[in-house]
Amino acid sequence: MKAQISAILKAHGLANIKLQTNYSDMNAKTYKGWDGKMVKGIGLSSHSPMDVTDAAYERIIAKTCKVKQALSELLMQTEGRFIVSETKKSITYLELYELRLPTYHYTMNLDSGYQTTYLVPRYVKEEK
């Protein structure tokens, strides 16, 4: 089941999140979460303080809907989460959340108003 889920997410652009760290050669550094692990996400949209329309947010909504629709064809959905597996003792859910990060790493001395939004999948196991 997780292989099918992974294939759906990869088809929609799941990859390691990378932040630009050097302005001259545009090296990218893989983003790591608070636990030190690399974070994978689907790039939704970039936006800046000079955006005058809601186009970036409309792209976020459209892409999120496409991903959720593809997953709902494979998995049951409850309370905004997808049920991956269920045993006598526990239920494993797939949650999708939005993560907004600066488009450029802070060492580039650029405005943090330039941001990119990612859709990040996370598996959560809950005891019954």
Instruction: Answer whether 0.85 is exceeded by the pTM.
Output: no
Q: What is the pLDDT of residue 111?
A: 61
Q: Are 75 and 68 in contact (CB under 8 A)?
A: no
Q: What is the pLDDT of residue 116?
A: 86
- pLDDT per residue over 15-26, tens digit each? 888 877 655 556
Phi, psi of 125 (to 5 degrees): -110, 125
- pLDDT per residue over 6-47, tens digit each? 999 999 999 888 877 655 556 667 788 888 888 899 989 888
Q: What is the pLDDT of residue 86?
A: 92
Q: What is the pLDDT of residue 23?
A: 56
Distances (CA, A) of 109 to 46, 77, 93, 101, 105: 18, 42, 39, 15, 8
- pLDDT per residue over 70-114, tens digit each? 999 999 988 889 999 999 999 999 999 998 887 766 555 556 677
